């Protein structure tokens, strides 16, 4: 397997070079060693790790949580209970956010439905509701 440049890795992972550098700074991926030419040498395992990070992000995990997931993944003494607990916690967070968004939606829909949308804004139920809070 041939080592790859950061540009090649970025292309294969579907990320920008800056995103990869950001992940390096956040210690989500290790900074690879440099060749004599000064170019860093990435491996296929780096692409897999970057794809793991991206997939975890799409599920709503924060970078800190992803770092924890990676740590769990790499620790041979850690069982799946830790992974499940972290995922369950994320699921609970998402369910709470959905409930909050549903309450926001209902409130906003009620306000929108109560506004005639014409005439003076002086008696606008939306503005009145925002002022009342």
8-27: pLDDT as tens digits? 999 999 999 999 999 999 99
pTM: 0.80
- What percentage of the chain exceeds 90 in pLDDT? 74
Once rounded to an integer, what is the mean pLDDT over residues 77-104? 96
Whether the per-residue pLDDT at 95 is higher than 90: the answer is: yes
The pLDDT value recorded for residue 40 is: 84
Q: What's the CA gap between 110 and 17, in Å, rounded?
A: 46
Once rounded to an integer, what is the mean pLDDT over residues 94-116? 96
Buried b / exposed e along 38-74 (16+ C-beta atoms within 10 A): eebbbeeebbebbebbeebeeeebeeebbbebbebee
**Residue 42 and residue 5 in contact, taking contact as beta carbons nearer than 8 Å:** yes
What is 1-61's CATH topology? Multidrug-efflux Transporter Regulator; Chain: A; Domain 2 (1.10.1660)
The pLDDT value recorded for residue 59 is: 97
Q: What's the CA gap between 21 and 42, in Å, rounded?
A: 12
**Residue 32 and residue 5 in contact, taking contact as beta carbons nearer than 8 Å:** no
Higher pLDDT, 31 or 47: 47
**Residue 46 and residue 9 in contact, taking contact as beta carbons nearer than 8 Å:** yes
Once rounded to an integer, what is the mean pLDDT over residues 83-91? 96
Mean pLDDT score of the chain, rounded to an integer?
Answer: 92
The pLDDT value recorded for residue 70 is: 96
The pLDDT value recorded for residue 88 is: 97
Whether the per-residue pLDDT at 1 is higher than 70: the answer is: no
Burial class (CB in 10 A: 0-12, 13-18, 19+), 3: middle
């Amino acid at each position: 397997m041939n080592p790859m440049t950061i540009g090649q890795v970025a292309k294969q992972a579907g990320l920008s070079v800056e995103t990869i550098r950001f992940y390096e700074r956040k210690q989500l991926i290790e900074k690879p060693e440099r060749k004599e030419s000064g170019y860093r040498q990435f491996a296929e395992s780096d692409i897999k790790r970057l794809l793991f990070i991206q997939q975890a992000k799409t599920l709503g995990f924060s970078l800190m949580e992803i770092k924890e997931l990676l740590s769990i993944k790499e620790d041979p003494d850690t069982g799946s209970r830790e992974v499940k607990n972290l995922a369950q916690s994320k699921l609970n967070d998402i369910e709470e956010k959905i409930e909050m968004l549903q309450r926001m939606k209902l409130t906003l829909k009620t306000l929108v439905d109560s506004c005639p949308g014409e005439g003076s804004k002086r008696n606008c139920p939306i503005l009145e509701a925002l002022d009342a809070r």
